[in-house]
A and B are shown apart, each in its own frame.
Chain A
Amino acid sequence: MVRRVPPIFVVLLAICVWISLLNPRFATVPGFMSFLMRAAPAAILAAGQLFVIVAGGFDLSVGSLITLVVLGSSMLIDGDPANTAWVIAVMFLIGIAVGVFNGAVTSWLKVPSFITTLGMLVTLKGFALLWTGGAPRGFLPNNFRVFGRNRLTGVPLLDEVPYAVIILLVVAVVATYLLHRTGWGKQLIALGDNPRAARLSGVPTAKVRILAFVASATSAVIAGILLGGFSGVSTNVGDGQELGAISAAVLGGAKLLGGRGTMPGAIAGALTLQALFTLLNLLGWPKPLRDGLQGVIIIGAVAYTAWRERRS
């Protein structure tokens, strides 16, 4: 599927070089590992989002699901590290349930995924805030936070590797395999390309689509666990993450409305966004301006893709 080097990798490399010129520490192993650690949640989220995008949909609910995971975990663990394991398991179950719901409503009730997941975004956030009374409550114990902020030490050559980076690597490999090497992934792309032809070819469209939403929601649970570990309990931890994930997928060459997209591209897209924000920070851009840029980027990336398709 990846015949030539997609432009996003060139852009990513260029931004990384620029950052290194401004901040030589970035080009060291620990510097780059820190960068990857910060980028990991967004990259994992982009990987999950891509499953839904290639099938022709959107999953806007992931940001709120992240918030729910962070707030819900601190509530359920309730300060006792012994609870961490089962609480994480519960979070995955919640994620799967949200994914099944999104996919089922979209498939069977024919509600466009944009609306289904927009509704879910509002509902999940509302539910999370109701649960905690509207403010961040409690804290996350160390054995929960280790995934997001600790490092595996004594690794040959690299010395220390953040757990988040290892998790990102595993997610990247598994997601790439699922999308590009299994019958499910191929059917998902065919479904996004031409739903009618896919149905007439015997593709079980509802099942295939529901699983895509489950993949996206699962990625949100993983991202939530990492973000909770990295930055602790807050009520706006997930805000805007869905847009970042969609932007990343589009930057990575995915076609909105489905049929085209690669997993390495989407992950590179997420890393590029993170690198760009790092760069703009170094250049002294204020944060609101950096945040605002994201909207411009997604519009620009989609316009660029549309322009290229028209030309060919």
Chain B
Amino acid sequence: MAANSASPRQGQRGGQPILEMRGITKRFPGVVALDGVSFDVRAGEVHALVGENGAGKSTLMKILGGAYAPDEGTLLLDGRPVSFSHPWEAQRQGISIIYQEFNLLPYRTVAENIFLGREPLRRGLVDYGRLHRDTAHLLARLGVEQWIEPDTLVKDLPVAHQQMVEIAKALSFSSKVLVMDEPTAALTDREVDLLMGLVRQLRDEGLAIVYISHRFKEIFAIADRITVLKDGRKVGTVDASEVTPDDLIRMMIGRPLDAFYPEYARPEDIGSPLLELAGAGNDVLDDINLTVRAGEIVGVAGLQGSGRTELLRAIFGIQPFTRGTMRVRGQEVRVRSPLEAVRLRMGFLTENRKEEGLALLQPVRDNTLLVHRALRPLLARADGVLSVAQLTGRVDLRAAGLHQEVQYLSGGNQQKVVLAKWLAVDADVLLFSDPTRGIDVNAKAGIHRLIRSLARSGKAILMASSDLPEVIGMSDRILVMWDGRIYGELPAGATEAEIMALATGQRKGGRSA
């Protein structure tokens, strides 16, 4: 296993970093994902990495793991510069990464997964006896042998135990550095405690652990140091014992609004409620109560896994609510499929425009008319009474023509086609999820103006977004979600700190009036 045997913890403060990243820069077309970031982790330390979505955490992790090569900067392992041309090399040199999505084969056993591609051989055949023994030994070392048998199929294990298999696999490579990405995202509270215990044990054995998480409770429970990233830059590295959650929130945010946002709704814009939920829930959401009125934009903020996008998907009938009531324009309704939502003149737009919004090989015209056609008799003439040019004009579409295939449009214009599709059927309850993700700044402002003008024209808009400035800049009211519930409501112009306090489960309720 790890070369360093149970090194005492007291040596860590002054200890040499096992892994050090110096001045790492990584550019993608149009974005600087990481800008001169330095980061190190020592043996026997848990170093937490925090930051908002898009701060650069996953890029940093992928560079660590050899999935990306940095454009600038150096990586030092035990003081020696290294470069990985393949994730496999990083692993061989002692860096193991446990991604949120496990890389396990569900229909293979625990032992087969751990030693995949490195099975012990005897006369050219797999030596199952040794495979079993080595795995049992590894599991015992982790202290999980009472839950996990080497010969169990991975698919039959609960998620928490699958994660332990990943950890065992990492240890089998004699890892010195273990990177864990949101390891508790899918775990129950008890499983989280179990994992925390395991992480502490590994730390005490001298492993260097990089712990990426949104959850402050865990971070403060386990981390020795915390590094905060924001917009691809390092804000700072602090000792966990010397900061409060509020300090951390301030470090994570505190940037100016990076775009110009249109005005909020005026009182005279607001009309009657178009969408109302009372006590609604399903297997990931619980006790959802909300009202969206004509003319207003209601923002939904929340970290990944808070139920933000699941809320919109439930309303639109993709993963329908199983309890509670829903009213559209005052009428009680049940929406069990997208078709039913569409019939109620609800519209849906997500950041996944290519997967969920558009038929990419089809021209602008056919995409714009798709919902309209879906609502008419099947054999009705394809081009009805609608003027597509008028619709695309309303969303200010810039395309070579209505016959241009939408795959060739820019991201912003693709989103405009999706919007035009809903305008074609006069949808007036619009559900947006990260409407401007992956769109350049200018186009973003254009979409924001468009969304506001739609609200002005009397539509009720529920907009979930991972981009806090966007939520703040656009929303007339902000709902903050955490753990599948609406944790609080804030008025227009709330601060990022107020939102983050609710979104990380620090406080509950709204702004004290």
Contact = CB atoms under 8 A, between A and B. Distances in A.
Contacts of B370: 186-187, 190, 197-198, 201, 203
Interface stretch (B130-138, B188-196, B303-311, B337-345): B337-345
B362 A190 contact: yes
Interface string B73-100: 0000000000000000000000000000
Interface in A162-198: 178, 180-187, 189-190, 193-194, 196-198
B338 A202 contact: yes
Given A187-B373, A202-B338, A203-B374, A181 B381 contact: yes
Contacts of B366: 186, 189-190
18 contacts: A178-B379, A182-B381, A183-B373, A185-B382, A187-B373, A187-B374, A189-B362, A193-B361, A197-B356, A198-B359, A200-B357, A202-B339, A202-B343, A202-B374, A259-B359, A259-B361, A259-B362, A260-B361
A199 B359 CA distance: 11
B316 to A, nearest CB: 8
A92 B316 CA distance: 40
Given A186-B382, A200-B316, 20 more contacts: A180-B382, A182-B382, A183-B373, A183-B379, A183-B382, A186-B369, A190-B370, A196-B356, A197-B358, A197-B359, A197-B370, A198-B359, A199-B339, A200-B338, A200-B348, A201-B374, A202-B374, A203-B339, A204-B339, A208-B378
A260 B403 CA distance: 14
A180 B356 CA distance: 23
Contact of B357 (A180, A183, A187, A197): A197
Interface of B: 316, 318, 338-339, 341-343, 348, 355-362, 366-367, 369-371, 373-382, 403, 421
A17 B235 CA distance: 74
A259 to B, nearest CB: 5
Contact of B371 (A180, A201, A207, A259): A201
Contacts of A183: 373-374, 376-382
A263 interface: no
A194 B359 contact: yes
A185 B362 CA distance: 13
Nearest to B317: A200
A249 interface: no
A208 B376 CA distance: 13
Interface in A237-268: 255, 259-260
A211 interface: yes
B359 to A, nearest CB: 4
A208 B366 CA distance: 16
Contacts of A255: 361
Contacts, number: 93
A182 B366 CA distance: 11
B359 A193 contact: yes
A7 B358 CA distance: 28
A193 B362 contact: yes
Interface of A: 3, 178, 180-187, 189-190, 193-194, 196-204, 207-208, 211, 255, 259-260
A236 B46 CA distance: 72
Which of A187, A196, A255 has the largest number of chain B CB atoms within 10 A? A187
Which of B316, B341, B358, B359 has the largest number of chain A CB atoms within 10 A? B359
Contacts of A204: 339, 374
Nearest to A193: B359
A181 B316 CA distance: 29
A178 B378 CA distance: 10
A202 B381 contact: no
A204 B343 CA distance: 11
A229 to B, nearest CB: 30
Contacts of B377: 183
B343 A184 contact: no
Contacts of A198: 359, 370
B321 to A, nearest CB: 17
A202 B375 contact: yes
Nearest to B375: A202
Contacts of A211: 378
Contacts of B381: 181-183
A199 B67 CA distance: 35
A163 B333 CA distance: 55
Closest 10 CB pairs of A and B: A202-B342, A183-B373, A193-B359, A202-B374, A184-B378, A190-B359, A259-B361, A201-B370, A203-B374, A194-B359
Which of A182, A183, A211, A259 has the largest number of chain B CB atoms within 10 A? A183
Contacts of A193: 359-362
B194 to A, nearest CB: 36
A93 to B, nearest CB: 20
Given A183-B376, A259-B362, A201 B382 contact: no
Contacts of A182: 378-382
A84 B265 CA distance: 72
A183 B373 CA distance: 5
Contacts of A208: 378
Contacts of A194: 355, 358-360
B274 to A, nearest CB: 18
Contacts of A207: 378
A182 B380 CA distance: 6
Nearest to B348: A200
Nearest to B357: A197
B320 to A, nearest CB: 14
A112 B369 CA distance: 28
A213 B168 CA distance: 50
A200 B382 contact: no
A204 B361 CA distance: 20
B21 to A, nearest CB: 37
Nearest to B422: A201
A207 B373 CA distance: 14
Contacts of B379: 178, 182-184
Contacts of A196: 355-356
Given A182-B379, A186-B369, A200 B374 contact: no
A201 B376 contact: no
Contact of B318 (A178, A200, A201, A260): A200
Contacts of B378: 182-184, 187, 207-208, 211
Which of B341, B361, B375 has the largest number of chain A CB atoms within 10 A? B361
